[in-house]
């Protein structure tokens, strides 16, 4: 009996040691992954300073940015460039150079700068933000309060947030983000860009554990528009006329303020018609919001060419959903 108890105790002790070693190895492996990610992306993230007094007084306001291309394009946030007459970029080695503004989009809060005369830049590698899951480990790299490049870690707390803009589907993270982090990188544990840090929710204006990043897929889409055209082209769904109307459903009158009727569509290759929206259709919702003229024009304003707008259309038997792919307006 004594030997039996000794054997059982030995097995339990061995299992305990195995669990401890496994957890230690897991933590060490995770730390190594995050260290690798930070090292890999560090030279792709820059500090940004704005001023109206020249390079010697370049530290009046601060932000961050990421190197987007070998040609010297740098992505940052539009809001940090407000009232800037001079923009400067600082690299890992402390070198500062002046940048020019290629374009800025206030709706997505994405801007593109350009620096000239630099070789061997290290553009950020990107990952598909649509693959991100709640609980994934992330790193934030930026220039908080102008103290210099800083790395913080956390997880993805939520996806698809509409904090300030329902069409961006922001990533939420608990990685420390403070003033100055705006425009910096949110990375996965492989060191690839999954978002541009843009805002925080805080009653004090500093870190509170709720930060938001613009998803990398939206960043690439907007930045590409800005580089090619200097602006984000307006989205278009064809020529059409609508009017607000009323609809009686089961003796429940839906207000004229919440639904619209397609009165007329026209033109060759009209996106509405191509995607199954016809004259006479009654629109109940637009991107899950009440079907008002304001919400329709807002959807067009805040989506990019190629994005889809979801219409819920009334049917006597069943309502149907139609995704209308927008195109660039002429």
CATH number at residue 89: 2.40.10.10
Smallest CA-to-CA distance from 185 within 232, 134, 143 is with 143
SS3 labels along 186-198: EECCCCCEEEEEE
- For the question of residue 182 being annotated catalytic, the response is yes
Out of 129, 153, 157, 182, the active site residue is 182
pLDDT exceeds cutoff 70 at 227: yes
Cβ neighbours of 206 (radius 10 Å): 13
44 is catalytic: no
Among the candidates 95, 114, 133, a domain finishes at 114
Q: How far is CA 168 from CA 129, 234, 307, in A?
A: 12, 16, 11
Residue 166 lies in a domain: no
11 part of a folded domain = no
Q: Is 329 a catalytic residue?
A: no
In this predicted structure, the answer to whether residue 25 has a pLDDT above a threshold of 60 is no
pLDDT tens-place string over residues 30-80: 555 889 999 999 999 999 998 865 555 445 668 999 999 999 999 999 999
Please indicate, yes or no, if residue 152 is contained in any of the structural domains.
Answer: no
Specify the number of domains making up the chain: 2
Q: Which residue is catalytic, options 44, 73, 109, 235?
A: 109
Catalytic residue among 69, 79, 208, 307: 79
Structural domain span for residue 110 = 45-114
pLDDT at 145 over 80: yes
Give the range with max mean pLDDT: 106-110, 264-268, 275-279: 106-110
- Residue 53 inside a domain? The answer is yes
């Amino acid at each position: 009996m004594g030997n039996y108890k000794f054997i059982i105790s030995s097995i339990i002790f061995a299992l305990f040691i195995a669990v401890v070693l496994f957890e230690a190895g897991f933590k060490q492996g995770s730390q190594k992954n995050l260290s690798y990610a930070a090292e890999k992306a560090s030279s792709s993230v820059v500090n940004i300073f704005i001023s109206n007094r020249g390079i010697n007084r370049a530290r009046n306001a601060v932000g961050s940015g990421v190197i987007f291309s070998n040609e010297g394009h740098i992505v940052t946030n539009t809001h940090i460039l407000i009232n800037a007459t001079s923009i400067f970029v600082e690299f890992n080695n402390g070198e500062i150079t002046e940048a020019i503004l290629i374009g800025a989009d206030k709706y997505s809060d994405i801007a593109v700068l350009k620096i000239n005369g630099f070789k061997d830049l290290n553009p950020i590698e990107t990952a598909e933000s649509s693959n991100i899951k709640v609980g994934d480990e992330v790193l934030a790299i930026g220039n908080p309060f102008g103290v210099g490049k800083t790395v913080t870690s956390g997880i993805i707390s939520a996806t698809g947030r509409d904090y300030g803009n329902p069409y961006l589907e922001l990533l939420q993270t608990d990685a420390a983000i403070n003033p100055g982090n705006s425009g910096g990188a949110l990375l996965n544990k492989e060191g690839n860009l999954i978002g541009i840090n843009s805002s925080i929710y805080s009653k004090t204006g500093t870190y509170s554990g709720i930060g938001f990043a613009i998803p990398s897929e939206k960043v690439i889409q907007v930045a590409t528009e800005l580089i090619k055209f200097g602006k984000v082209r307006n989205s278009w769904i064809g020529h059409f006329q609508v009017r607000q109307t009323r609809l009686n459903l089961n003796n429940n009158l839906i207000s004229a303020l919440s639904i619209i009727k397609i009165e007329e569509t026209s033109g060759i290759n009209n996106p509405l018609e191509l995607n199954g929206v016809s004259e006479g259709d009654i629109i109940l919702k637009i991107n899950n919001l009440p079907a008002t003229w304001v919400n329709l024009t807002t959807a067009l304003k805040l989506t990019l060419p190629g994005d889809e707008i979801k219409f819920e259309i009334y049917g006597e038997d069943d309502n149907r959903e139609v995704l209308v792919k927008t195109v660039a307006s002429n």
